[in-house]
Amino acid sequence: MKFFWKIYSAVFICFVLIVTAMSVFIIKSQIANATESMINQQKTVGSIMIDELEKGYLVDKMPFQSLKSLTEHKSFGFWWLVKPSGEVYLADDIKSIGIRAFTCFPQASRSLGDNAISITGNNEIVFIQKFGYGSNKMSFWLGFTTKDIQLAKNKIISTTITFAFVSLAVLGLMIYFVINHLIMPIRKLTVAAGKIGSGQFDCEVDKQSNDEIGLLADAFNKMIADLKQTTTSIDNLNREISDRNKAEEKINTSQKLLHRIINLLPLRVFWKDKNLKFLGCNEIFAKDAGENRPEDLIGKDDFQTSLKEQAKNYQDEDKSVITSGKSMLYIEERQITPKGDKILLKTNKVPLTDLQGNIIGILGTYEDITDRKQAEDALGKSEKRFRAIFNSTFQFTGLMTLDGTLVEANQSAIDYAGLKLEDVINRPFWETHWWKGNKERVQKLKESIRLAASGEFVRYEVELHGTGDTMDIFDFSIKPVFGPDGKVTFLVPEGRNITEHKKAEKLLLESEERYRILFESSIEGIGLSKGNQVINANPALLEIFGYDNLEEFLKVPLLEHVAPESRSFIDDNQRKMQRGESIDNRFEYRIIRKDGQTRDLEILIKHIQIGNDTYAQSTFRDITERKQSEIKLLEINR
Last residue of a domain, one of 503, 534, 554: 503
**Residue 57: what pLDDT?**
47
Report how many domains make up the chain.
4
Residue 168: inside a domain? no
Tell me the CATH number at 61.
Answer: 3.30.450.20
Q: Is the pLDDT of residue 348 over 70?
A: yes
Q: Are residue 41 and residue 133 in the same domain, yes or no? A: yes
58, pLDDT greater than 50? no
> Which tens digits make up the pLDDT trace of 198-248?
666 566 666 566 665 666 666 666 676 666 666 666 667 777 788 888 888
Helix boundaries (H) for 265-290: 283-288
d(CA 245, CA 253): 12
Q: Residue 60's pLDDT is what?
A: 44
Lowest mean pLDDT among 5-14, 347-356, 409-418: 5-14
Say yes or no: 584 and 621 in one domain. yes
Closest CA to 602 of 559, 544, 515: 544
Do 539 and 569 lie in one domain? The reply is yes
Per the domain annotation, does 296 fall within a domain?
yes
In this predicted structure, which of 52-61, 273-282, 426-435 has the lowest mean pLDDT? Answer: 52-61
The reported pLDDT for the residue numbered 455 is 93
Q: pLDDT confidence of 460, banded at 50, 70, 90?
A: very high
Q: Which of 503, 530, 552 is the last residue of a domain?
A: 503
Q: Quick one: pLDDT at residue 43?
A: 67
Sheet containing 117-120, strands listed edge to edge, beginning at the edge strand earlier in sequence = 88-91, 76-82, 138-145, 124-131, 117-120
Whether 136 maps to a domain, the answer reads yes
Q: pLDDT value at position 321?
A: 92
Phi, psi of 394 (to 5 degrees): -75, -25
On the question of pLDDT at 65 being above 60, the answer is no
Judge if 143 and 55 occupy the same domain. yes
- Distances in Å between the Cα of 84 and the Cα atoms of 94, 101, 130, 174 are 19, 10, 9, 68
Q: Could you give the 3-state DSSP secondary structure of residue 62?
A: coil
pLDDT at 61 over 60: no
What is the model's pLDDT at position 261?
85
φ/ψ of 587, rounded to 5, equals: -155, 170
Same domain for 344 and 300:
yes
User: Is residue 539 predicted with pLDDT exceeding 80?
Assistant: yes
Among the three residues 154, 175, 193, which one is the final residue of a domain in this structure?
154
Residue 232, in any domain of the structure: no
* pLDDT (0 to 100) of residue 52: 64
Please tell me the least confidently modeled range out of 268-277, 392-401, 492-501: 392-401
- pLDDT of the residue at 631: 84
Rounded average pLDDT over 29-42: 69
pLDDT of the residue at 447: 94
The pLDDT, as a whole number, for residue 183 is: 60
pLDDT in tens, 273-314: 999 999 999 988 888 888 889 999 999 998 998 888 888 888
**pLDDT of 132-179, one tens digit each?**
655 567 777 777 776 666 776 777 777 777 877 777 777 767 766 666
Give yes or no for a contact between 78 and 99, defined as CB atoms under 8 angstroms apart: no
Predicted TM-score (pTM) of the model is 0.35
Q: Indicate if 435 and 329 belong to the same structural domain.
A: no
Q: Say what percent of the chain tops pLDDT 90.
A: 22
What's residue 250's pLDDT? 84
Give the pLDDT of residue 481. Answer: 92
pLDDT confidence bin for 91, thresholds 50/70/90: confident
Domain that holds residue 461: 393-503
Count H helices and E strands in the chain, helices first.
Answer: 16, 21
**What percentage of the chain reaches a pLDDT higher than 70?**
74
- The 10 Å Cβ neighbour count of residue 400 is 22
Res 487 pLDDT > 90: yes
Q: Is residue 184 part of a domain?
A: no
CA atoms of 308 and 312, how far apart (whole Å): 8
Residue 154 pLDDT: 76
Same domain, 567 and 448: no
